[in-house]
Structure formats: structure tokens, C-alpha cells
């Protein structure tokens, strides 16, 4: 789909974006810290649930831009309440860019390709890596080149875990998408 032909948002799509963004924000704010304390890992909800909702949004609307808007809204809302404005800005930018990348890769190729499981896996991997780039740039700016190189082995497992959580969210979304599509009462025009 050429980017010059982006269709305007319908009120039903905006409502779905608001609902999914609210779900993402609420679960991140309330479950994120709890899961973080239980597992010792942060960002689990943001990655897993975010990528699950991205896939559902893309499948339900069938249009470019909806995933990007949802990710940007959720990213802004979950990051604005965090301490450390510069850090929160970089991390939030990562999630918004991850949503944009997911959107671009899902809708630019042919629809037949976007529906394949292996291609969805590549979309998740790519957008998950893109979402981590601003975080790594923040670390690079904070630590400098040599500090970053020294600490990279400690950051790399977190990067891999984050990308794998993105993939797990997308694959979970793929397994529940047919059920969700049947239950969604608002039929979105494609």
C-alpha cells in the first residue's frame, strides 16, 4: 500500500485505538511494577502486551497508521509518569518507533505476505530491535563509547529478552486473533 494513500481514521477506528491504548497503559501502570518485582525484569508487559495489541490492531483495522497511533499514545502515557525525563523520552520514543516499524512492515508488503507466520516473526523481530535502539543510544550517550562497549555484554541479554517478548506477544496475538475478530462487535470497514 503506497503511503500516499493513507485512509482517514474512522470514529470506530479511533474508538478501538483508544480502547487498546487504554488497556496497554492501564496494564503497564498497574501490572508492570508487580511483574517486575516478581520476576526481576522490567518491560515485560510493555513488550509482550504491546506487540500482542499491535498485531490485533493491524488485523482488525487492516489499515496503516492505526498501530503507530496506538503505540505512540501508549508510549507517551506510560513514559510521562516516569521519573527521569530524558530516560523516559528515549524509552518512549523506542516504543513509538517500534509501533511505526511494525505498521510499515505489516502494511507495505502484499497482504498475502503479511499474513504468513514467518513474516510476522520477522516483523516482530525487526520492530522489537528498532524499539530498543533509542534505549541503547541513551546508554551510549550516557556512558560514552568505551563505557558502552564495556557494559554492552550486560545490556545484550536484556535486548535479546525484550525482542523475544515482542515476538511472544505477536505469536500469542496470532493465536487469539481469530477469537477476537469474531467477538469484536464493531465491524471495521476495510
**Positive or negative, the Cα torsion across 143, 147, 149, 155?**
negative
| Alpha helix stretches (DSSP H) within the chain | 11-39, 44-61, 66-80, 85-107, 111-114, 117-183
Which pLDDT belongs to residue 114?
62
Q: Does some domain include residue 118?
A: yes
The number of distinct structural domains making up the chain is 1
Q: What is the DSSP string of 81-136?
A: TSS-HHHHHHHHHHHHHHHHHHHHHHHSS-HHHHTSHHHHHHHHHHHHHHHHHHHH
Beta carbons of 16 and 61 less than 8 angstroms apart = yes
Phi, psi (rounded to 5 degrees) for 106: -75, -40
Domain that holds residue 96: 10-183
Q: Which three cell numbers stand for residue 171?
A: 505469536
Q: Does some domain include residue 189?
A: no
pLDDT, tens digit, for every residue of 86-130?
Answer: 877 888 899 999 999 999 999 987 766 766 888 999 999 999 999
- Cα gap 52→169, rounded to integer Å: 4
Q: Does some domain include residue 4?
A: no
**Positive or negative, the Cα torsion across 51, 57, 60, 64?**
negative
Q: Does some domain include residue 81?
A: yes
Q: Mean of the pLDDT values across residues 47-61?
A: 95
Assign residue 167 the CATH number of its domain.
1.10.1760
Can you give the pTM of this predicted structure?
A: 0.89
Beta carbons of 108 and 123 less than 8 angstroms apart = no
Q: Which three cell numbers stand for residue 102?
A: 511494525
Q: Does some domain include residue 5?
A: no
pLDDT, tens digit, for every residue of 124-166?
Answer: 999 999 999 999 999 999 999 999 999 999 999 999 999 999 9
Q: Which three cell numbers stand for residue 141?
A: 550517550
Q: Does some domain include residue 160?
A: yes
Q: Does some domain include residue 107?
A: yes
Q: Does some domain include residue 3?
A: no
Amino acid at each position: 500500500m503506497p503511503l500516499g494513500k493513507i485512509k482517514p481514521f474512522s470514529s470506530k477506528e479511533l474508538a478501538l485505538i483508544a480502547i487498546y491504548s487504554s488497556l496497554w497503559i492501564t496494564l503497564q501502570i498497574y501490572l508492570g511494577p508487580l511483574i517486575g518485582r516478581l520476576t526481576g525484569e522490567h518491560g515485560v508487559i510493555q513488550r509482550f502486551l504491546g506487540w500482542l495489541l499491535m498485531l490485533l490492531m493491524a488485523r482488525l483495522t487492516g489499515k496503516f497508521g492505526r498501530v503507530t497511533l496506538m503505540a505512540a499514545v501508549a508510549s507517551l502515557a506510560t513514559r510521562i509518569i516516569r521519573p527521569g525525563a530524558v530516560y523516559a523520552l528515549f524509552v518512549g520514543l523506542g516504543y513509538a518507533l517500534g509501533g511505526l516499524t511494525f505498521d510499515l512492515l505489516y502494511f507495505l508488503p502484499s497482504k498475502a505476505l503479511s499474513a504468513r507466520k514467518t513474516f510476522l516473526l520477522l516483523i516482530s523481530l525487526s520492530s522489537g530491535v528498532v524499539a530498543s535502539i533509542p534505549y541503547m543510544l541513551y546508554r551510549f550517550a550516557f556512558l560514552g563509547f568505551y563505557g558502552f562497549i564495556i557494559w554492552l555484554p550486560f545490556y545484550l541479554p536484556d535486548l535479546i529478552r525484550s525482542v523475544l517478548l515482542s515476538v511472544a506477544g505477536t505469536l500469542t496475538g496470532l493465536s487469539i486473533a481469530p477469537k477476537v475478530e469474531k467477538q469484536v462487535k464493531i465491524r471495521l470497514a476495510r
